[in-house]
């Protein structure tokens, strides 16, 4: 994805309130001057836009013709996978969704939506790449099928020992991780778009 589109994605995140600034505590207990909340997307227009950003990357890195279905793990990725399917131009793309806990009534089970056949290939769509733990769990739940790639909106570039979580995930699973934008690129593209104090805090957090 070219620089122009990455900058447009940054502006989209700001305009939709996805990128928030403040004093946030992350899942691992660390502090952050910003937070990415894709749950702020709330209109059909926003869904179409985010789906278009993701689909451009999916076509570039994977290819539509190789994909049998999209998977959106709970919770926010359910919306993202649906948005991608709705904005797909050349294929009526199936989606498979999962629950955090198996449903004990009605149709029951861990999944709903598409009913894939063993061996089908899919792309896992999610909002951000942080530690990668939830992605590993998702792959384990769908081990009968082939994950072609993980595609996220933002790679937070969380690193341990000089290796990012995305790199480690790929090393351990063999599944590539692609992002619309990486955190450091996102930070640099904010220059002139936000208050200087917020920009400086972002740069310090990103080690820039």
- Residues with a known catalytic role: 103, 105
Q: Where are the beta strands (DSSP E) in 10-133?
A: 19-25, 31-36, 69-72, 95-103, 109-113, 121-129
**Going by C-beta distance under 8 Å and a sequence separation of 6 or more, which residues neighbour residue 195?**
none
What is d(CA 33, CA 13) in angstroms, rounded to the nearest whole number?
Answer: 16
User: H-helix or E-strand containing 154?
Assistant: strand 146-155
The tokens for 14 are 């700001």
User: H-helix or E-strand containing 177?
Assistant: strand 177-182
**Going by C-beta distance under 8 Å and a sequence separation of 6 or more, which residues neighbour residue 101?**
none
**Going by C-beta distance under 8 Å and a sequence separation of 6 or more, which residues neighbour residue 208?**
184, 187, 188
What is d(CA 193, CA 208) in angstroms, rounded to the nearest whole number?
Answer: 17
Bridge partners for 191 per DSSP: none
- Cis amide bond preceding 75, omega within 30: yes
């Amino acid at each position: 994805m070219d620089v122009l589109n990455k900058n447009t994605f940054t502006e989209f995140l700001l305009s939709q309130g996805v990128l928030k600034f403040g004093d946030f505590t992350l899942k691992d207990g660390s502090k952050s001057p910003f937070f990415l909340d894709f749950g702020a997307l709330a209109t059909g227009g926003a869904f179409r836009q985010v789906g278009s950003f993701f689909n451009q990357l999916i076509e570039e890195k994977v290819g539509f013709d190789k994909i049998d279905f999209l998977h959106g793990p709970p919770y926010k990725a359910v919306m993202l996978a649906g948005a991608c399917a709705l904005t797909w131009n050349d294929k009526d793309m199936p989606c498979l969704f999962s629950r955090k806990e198996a449903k004990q009534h009605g149709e029951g089970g861990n999944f709903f939506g598409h009913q894939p056949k063993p061996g089908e290939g899919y792309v896992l769509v999610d909002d951000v790449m942080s530690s990668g733990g939830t992605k590993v769990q998702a792959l384990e739940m769908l081990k009968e099928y082939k994950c072609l790639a993980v595609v996220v909106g933002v790679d937070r570039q969380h690193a341990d020992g000089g290796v990012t979580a995305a790199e480690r995930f790929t090393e351990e699973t063999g599944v590539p991780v692609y992002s619309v934008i990486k955190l450091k690129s996102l930070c640099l593209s904010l220059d002139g778009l936000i208050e200087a104090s917020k920009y400086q805090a972002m740069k310090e957090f990103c080690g820039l």
